[in-house]
Chains A and B, each alone.
Chain A
Amino acid sequence: MGLLKTSLRTVKKRKSRAALIIICITIGVAVFAGANVGADGVENAYVTRLLSTFGDVDLTLSNSSNPLYSIQYNQSLLSQLLNTPHVEAVAPRISTLQTFWFNSTGNNTLLLIGIDNILDNQFGSVTPPGLVNQLHGNNCIINQVAAEIFNLTSGENIGLYSPLIGVNETVHIIGVGVFQGKFSVEKSTPIIVLNIEFIQSLFHLENQATEIVLKIDSYRNIETVINNLRNIYGDKFTYYSQKLEALEKSESNILVLRGALNIFSILALIVTFVLIIVVMLMNISERKRDLGIMRSIGASTRQIFSYVIIETLLYGLIGSTVGTLTGIFLSTYMLDFLGAAISTITTLGELSIILNPVTLITCFSTGMIIVLLAGNIPAIAATRITILETFRPKMKGIARVNVLKKSLILGVILLISGSITLYLLGGGMILTGNFTPILLSTALITAGLIIFFSSSLYYVSRGVSTIFKPLLKESKAIIERYIARNRTRTTFTFTMVAIGIVFVIFFSSLAVTFTATFSTVIRVFTGSDIKMQVNPAVNYNFTAELRTLPGVQAVSPSYESWCTITGEDFKIALIFIDPDSFLDVYPRINTASGPAIEDALNTLKSVNKTIILAKKAADLLNLTVGDTITLNVKNINGSTTPIDFNIVALVEQFYGYPQYMFNIRAFGDIYGAYISISQLEDVIGTSNVEVFFIKLQTGVDQIQVKNELENILSPRFESLTLISAREWENQISSIIESFSNVVYFFVGFSFIVAAIGIGIIMIVAVSERRQEIGILKAIGMSRKQVLKLVVCEAVIITVIGLIVGIGGGLYLWFLFLNRIVSTASNLFFELPFIIPVNIIIYMIVTGVLIALAASAYPAYRAMKLEVIDALRRE
């Protein structure tokens, strides 16, 4: 216990050092806790919204031998279920499809649902709300479908009559609603909801239910409850949770969200880890004398070790506690920001802080573990201090190694293997949507660059400081050597800066490229201005009528069918087009072989079973103009028929449909064939289509015409969707924008961490170099020059980080783009390599500002340092 006392005294004596370490730990833990508490909040909001459509029921038990059969239950089964951990409520439920005669209508099939209002009070959104609680006696609520089909309203009675099952009852409608949960799927079924007891007595089904529904304290525990019940009841029941199913479906979304948040919080922890080591090492080296004396009076290595580790843990205890609490505070801001950032991508429920004790404990203990791990290094260093060392001024023993050859080679190898990874596997990503290769190569390339720069730091820092030569003047040589000498520390600092920037540059390149490409993409893709989709489908001759509408210049109907080719593992999209309007509405394309496009289109029109085929498909199949291709065409009623088509011409570029636009896989291989729409009936068995492409007259306002068309056409269809190219563009740019917002959010996050890191590293640097700063002042350095010395070192390290980050980001984007372009060899549009100049400028300005802000305090301390204090020996 003597050790603890000594440690406490040391902490008291060196308040500023202690504060520095505590700040490091606090910040790291705060960021970690902020991210995790924030992620809990976001996950909760996401899940809340996701589950909001499902009502109270978390788990449904049904008869495993046949879900339509009823379950015999009694009170003891119910209370047994209720006593299962995490189960909050249990109720039987009946749902049965029955046919009744009522209100002088014939055979009416409807779903009768008997609910228990304890559990099902949020069963549906009923107006006025709370009606479910009044479901007693013969009161019932019907769904909107029933209200519409049978022309019923609230307040009316329905006489249910079924001689088959001997029912003749009148039920009273107290409300109309939309029912949630399982029944929301059966949208077109009329539903009558009654109290379960009423139905039981109606059908003489006392103590029987089609299912037993359970409410569980949290969606997180559904799985546990299922496992528990399975242990007790085995396969007697089928356990089904719609919520769980929905959660599983969106699990990857949640994982991405948490993962993204965690990448940065782990980054913050790594930074903290290193900072603890750096600051504690400084602390130890400042206390060399004390430690040397302790050793000389007989302290064992173990005692020294525990002395240091106890001190570190003391800091950890304070830092982790304060950090966890600060993290909770931080997460409110994070939630606000993140909510705003992703609002256009996905709507979340109410964002509120969720204080999950597990998360809080995890955050605190993560802090302690980091401290314990990091504390080992300074503690071991402390045990190595010899008594002798304390008497003489330290000899640093500068290694004259300018380039670490081995790590340089390692860096190059990593760079190359990262590039190769993307080159070899990255292409697959475009087709399969597997992003592991790109992540892997990002990691490899970033690590490679960092190691490469680190191992040749001497030349790097000389190079960079040469850029600043006119500014640095007398400090140039000193700064560049300082940077090169503290290789590990510098590497760590510039890495913090670089990592966020790699992401920004990569993603903003992506955003810039796609934004720039987008308007051309829409043109090239369709040549039309509006895409119209109708339901139900309508005869393609409807185009004639559409052409007469105001503002319309040309219209082309479209139908697409994916056909397989026997013996080949790719599909061909058979696209039905109108040869007359094709060239108006599709972009102008020329044939690669065969007659000119106009003649080819004429042939399509006049000769049956003729197609224009994508050249790439023809090449793969070894076919050419005049040959016959057999496509297995799917008929409207689902059957597949092989049909021979004659190839009239080949086209180099094949333009698919805009709906594939954002399906990145479609960038890959759209093999397609155009065929005249006049054969739709013949080939597919229908002449109805759902899609029309409309080209507008020049000079008209797209949005205005679109609105007019909508007004004219909407009474004709059940549903009508008109998308104008302009709106589409806007929609995409807003998606890209919110995507960028998310990226900026994370980058801002990592910049804050980087700023703190730079600040602390510079504080350490200044306190280590007190004496040298004293000498520099003694030989004539002015306060301004000293200030510059510190600030410029931080700036140059940041600039190295900027170079790595910007260079790495651009290189990755360059590789990625190349892969897209070469994998999607029949890409229908250009993807130019655009450098996001303004983002790069922002990054440079932000980076330098961060360096200035972070080094301000250390520089101020250096400036204020009195020569005699700096040179005095204790």
Chain B
Amino acid sequence: MAYRLDSSQLGLEKKVVLETVNLSRYYKRGDQVIKALDNVSVKIYRGEPTAIMGPSGSGKTTFLNLVGLLDKPTSGSILINGQDVTLMSSKQIVDLRRHTIGFIFQFYNLIDVLTAKENVELPLLIAGVKKKERAQRTAALLSLVGLSDRANHLPDELSGGEQQRVAIARALVNNPSLILADEPTGDLDSKTGRMVMKILLDSCKERDIGLIVVTHDSDIANMMDRILFLRDGRLIGESRPGS
């Protein structure tokens, strides 16, 4: 019996966190139909950070919006942790946003009236987590992103890199299984961008979280385990920088 080890126990088989099947999103502009996303079928794995690259207008944001449940597909389905989300009620979707998905945006999008600590704590508050646990998790994440000493600063008092680190902490705080980042380094200089990215990558790997990063920066993309290429709404290929 001992020789029949489950492959997953060895860490050989990767766990699928997100799967799309023939995912399409069309927009109508007058009589014209714009295929912002066209029949994309892809699997994203936990602990395998994935970049999405492609020219502007190729459907990267559309893809993230769809899998982040901010938008509804024209056709096709999305499975998160094996569950088809296209059939979910809005209540279930809210639940998924609270517990399963984390977002990171290009312009950090912190709530500017709240301090760094409060921004990180906010998803937990929204989800109704108990006070003690909130404090513990917030403190842990702030120290993870190296901002323990800036906890009580408002976003305006932080640099772009620092703000994005707060945003990372906020995305990680409710232990999601998938993090979606749309050009997270787009507003940062390349050195800061790489530093921020490293924090994000390390924590996702460490916690076995699925990560999708949309980027134009090939240096950033090369830090990932896997790169997907989109063009005109279609998946046209992928590569693995590491191997």
Please tell me if the beta carbons of A778 and B128 are within 8 angstroms of each other in the complex: no
Nearest Cβ distance between residue A195 and chain B, in whole angstroms? 86
Q: Which residues 129-183 of B sit at the A interface, judged by CB distance below 8 A?
A: 154, 156, 170, 174
Report A-chain residues with C-beta under 8 Å of the C-beta of B154: 398, 400
**Interface residue total, chain A, C-beta cutoff 8 A:** 29
A785: interface (CB < 8 Å): yes
User: CB-CB < 8 A to A783: which residues of B?
Assistant: 90, 94
Q: Given A397-B156, A478-B111, A478-B114, does the pair A780, B94 have CB atoms closer than 8 Å?
A: yes
The answer to whether residues A867 and B114 also contact, given A393-B107, A397-B156, A775-B109 and a CB cut-off of 8 A, is no
Q: Does B118 contact A (CB under 8 A)?
A: yes
- Chain A contacts for B194, CB-based, 8 A: none
Question: Does A657 touch B at the CB level, under 8 Å?
Answer: no
Name A463-486 residues within 8 Å CB distance of B: 473-474, 477-478, 481-482, 485
Contacts of A481 in B (CB 8 A): 113-114
In the assembled complex, which residues on chain B have CB atoms less than 8 Å from the CB atom of A779? 97-98, 102-103, 122-123, 126, 170
Contact A474 B68 (CB under 8 A): no
**Contact of A398 with B70 in the complex, beta carbons under 8 Å:** no
8 Å CB interface, B218-241 against A: none
With beta carbons under 8 angstroms apart, the residue of B102, B109, B118 that contacts A771 is B109
Residue of B nearest to A867 (CB): B70
In the complex, are the beta carbons of A776 and B111 less than 8 A apart? yes
Whether B123 and A780, one on each chain, are in contact in the complex, defined by CB atoms closer than 8 angstroms, is yes
New A-B pairs, 19, CB < 8 Å, besides A772-B111, A780-B123, A783-B90: A400-B154, A473-B125, A473-B128, A474-B122, A474-B126, A477-B113, A477-B114, A478-B113, A775-B109, A776-B111, A776-B126, A779-B97, A779-B103, A779-B123, A780-B94, A781-B126, A782-B94, A868-B65, A871-B105
Asked if A396 is at the interface (CB within 8 A of a chain B CB), the reply is yes
Q: B-contacting residues of A (Cβ < 8 Å)? A: 393, 395-398, 400, 473-474, 477-478, 481-482, 485, 771-772, 775-783, 785, 866-868, 871
Closest Cβ of chain B to A867, distance in Å, is 4
A867 neighbours in B (Cβ, 8 Å): 70
Contact between chains at B118 and A778 (CB < 8 Å): no
What are 6 pairs between A and B in contact, CB < 8 Å?
Answer: A776-B122, A779-B97, A779-B122, A783-B94, A785-B126, A866-B70
Is B112 located at the chain interface by the 8 A CB criterion?
yes
CB neighbours (8 Å) of B68 from chain A are: 778
Contacts of B122 in A (CB 8 A): 474, 776, 779
- Roughly how many angstroms separate A478 CA and B114 CA in the complex, as a whole number? 7
Q: Nearest chain-B residue to A483 (Cβ)?
A: B113
Residue B21 interfacial (CB < 8 Å): no
Contacts A393-B107, A395-B156, A473-B125; is A778 near B112 (CB within 8 Å)? no
Q: Which residues of A contact B88 (CB under 8 A)?
A: none
Using Cβ atoms and an 8 Å threshold, which residues of chain B touch A785?
Answer: 126
B71 interface hit (Cβ, 8 Å): yes
Decide yes or no whether B34 CB sits under 8 A from chain A: no
**B-side contacts of A782, CB under 8 Å:** 91, 94
Q: Which residue of A lies closest to B96 (CB)?
A: A780
Interface centre among B110, B128, B156 (most CB of A within 10 A): B156
Are A477 and B105 in contact (CB-based, < 8 A)? no
Contacts of A395 in B (CB 8 A): 156
Shortest Cβ gap from A223 to chain B (Å):
60
Q: Which 4 A-B residue pairings sit nearest by Cβ, starting from the closest? A: A481-B113, A780-B98, A474-B125, A780-B97
| A397 CA / B156 CA spacing, docked (Å) | 6
- Is the C-beta of B195 less than 8 angstroms from some C-beta in chain A? no
B87 within 8 A of A: no
* A398–B126 CB distance below 8 A: no
Contact A398 to B156, CB < 8 A, known contacts A779-B123, A779-B170, A780-B94: yes
Tell me, yes or no, whether B127 is within 8 Å of chain A by CB. yes
Question: What A residues does B110 contact at CB under 8 A?
Answer: 775
Of the four ranges (under 10, 10 to 19, 20 to 34, 35 or more), the interface on chain B belongs to: 20 to 34
Report B-chain residues with C-beta under 8 Å of the C-beta of A396.
Answer: 112, 156
Pick from A771, A775, A780: contact of B127, CB below 8 A.
A780
Contact (Cβ within 8 A) A477 B156: no
**Docked pose: A1 CA to B54 CA in angstroms:** 46
Residues in chain B near residue A478, CB distance under 8 A: 111, 113-114
Residues of B182-231 at the interface with A, using a CB-CB cut-off of 8 Å, are: none
Pick the residue among A398, A477, A482, A776 that contacts B118 (CB under 8 A): A477
Contact yes or no, A398 B113, CB < 8 A:
yes
**In the complex, how many angstroms separate the beta carbon of B82 from the nearest chain A beta carbon?**
21
Interface string of B63-74 (1 = CB under 8 A from A): 001001011000
In the complex, the answer to whether A868 meets B94 with C-beta atoms within 8 Å is no
Q: How far is the CB of A249 from chain B (nearest CB, A)?
A: 60
Give A321 Cβ to nearest chain B Cβ, in Å: 38
Within the complex, the shortest CB–CB distance from B148 to chain A, in Å, comes to 20
A477 CA / B125 CA spacing, docked (Å): 10
Given A396-B156, A397-B156, A473-B128, also A778-B103 (CB < 8 A): yes
**B70 A775 Cβ-Cβ under 8 A:** no
Q: Write out the residue numbers on chain A whose beta carbons fall within 8 Å of the beta carbon of B156.
A: 395-398
In the complex, are the beta carbons of B111 and A775 less than 8 A apart?
Answer: yes
Contact call B109/A871, Cβ cutoff below 8 A: yes
Assuming the contacts A474-B122, A780-B97, asked whether A398 and B90 have C-beta atoms less than 8 A apart, the reply is: no
Contacts of A477 in B (CB 8 A): 113-114, 118, 125
CB distance from B151 to the nearest CB of A (A): 14
**Which residue of chain B has its CB nearest to the CB of A779?**
B123
Question: B71 contacts which chain A residues (CB < 8 A)?
Answer: 868
Nearest CB in chain B to that of A484: its residue: B113
Bound-complex Cα distance A778 to B109 (A): 11
Q: Cβ of A400: which chain B residues have Cβ within 8 Å of it?
A: 154
By beta carbon, the residue of chain A nearest B66 is A868
- Interchain nearest-CB distance for B93 vs A (Å): 10
In the assembled complex, the CB of A872 is this many whole angstroms from the nearest CB of chain B, namely: 9
A485 to B155, CA, bound (A): 14
Which residue of chain B lies nearest to A396 when distances are taken between CB atoms in the complex? B112
Interchain nearest-CB distance for A395 vs B (Å): 6
Which residue in chain A gives the minimum CB-CB distance to B180? Answer: A778
B38 nearest CB across to chain A (Å): 19
A795 to chain B, nearest CB (A): 18
Which residue of B has the minimal Cβ distance to A400?
A: B154
Contact B70–A868 (Cβ < 8 Å): yes
Nearest A residue (CB) for B170: A779
The distance in angstroms between the C-alpha atoms of A780 and B113, with both chains bound, is 18
Question: Bound state CA distance, A483 and B125, in angstroms?
Answer: 20
A778 with B90, Cβ < 8 A, contacts A474-B122, A485-B113 known? no
What is the bound-complex CA distance between A780 and B90, given in angstroms? 11
User: In angstroms, how far is the closest chain A Cβ from the Cβ of B37?
Assistant: 13
- Give min CB distance, B159 to chain A, whole Å: 12
* B65:A780 contact, CB within 8 angstroms: no
* CA of A482 to CA of B113, assembled, Å: 7
Chain B CB within 10 A, most for which of A398, A473, A477: A477
Residues of A within 8 A of B128 (CB): 473-474
Contacts of B70 in A (CB 8 A): 778, 866-868, 871
| In the complex, residue of chain B having the shortest beta-carbon distance to the beta carbon of A474 | B125
- By a CB distance below 8 angstroms, the chain A residues around B112 are 396, 398, 772
CA distance A202 to B170 in the complex (A): 109
State the CA gap A485–B114 with chains docked (Å): 11
Q: How far does the Cβ of A399 sit from chain B's closest Cβ, in whole Å?
A: 10
User: With the chains together, A485 CA to B113 CA distance in Å?
Assistant: 8
Query: Nearest-CB distance from A860 to chain B (Å)?
Result: 16
A661 to chain B minimum Cβ distance, whole angstroms, is: 57
CB distance from B192 to the nearest CB of A (A): 17
Tell me the bound Cα distance from A490 to B112 in angstroms: 18
Central interface residue in A393, A775, A776, A777, by most chain B CB within 10 Å:
A775
Q: Which residues of B contact A781 (CB under 8 A)?
A: 94, 126
Measured CB to CB, the nearest residue on chain B to A394 is: B112
Question: What's the nearest-Cβ distance from chain A to residue B170, in Å?
Answer: 7
Q: Which residue of A lies closest to B68 (CB)?
A: A778
- For A868, list chain B residues within 8 Å (CB): 65, 70-71
Complex alpha-carbon distance, A371 and B36, angstroms? 46
Q: Which residues of B contact A397 (CB under 8 A)?
A: 156
User: In the assembled complex, which residues on chain B have CB atoms less than 8 Å from the CB atom of A871?
Assistant: 70, 105, 109
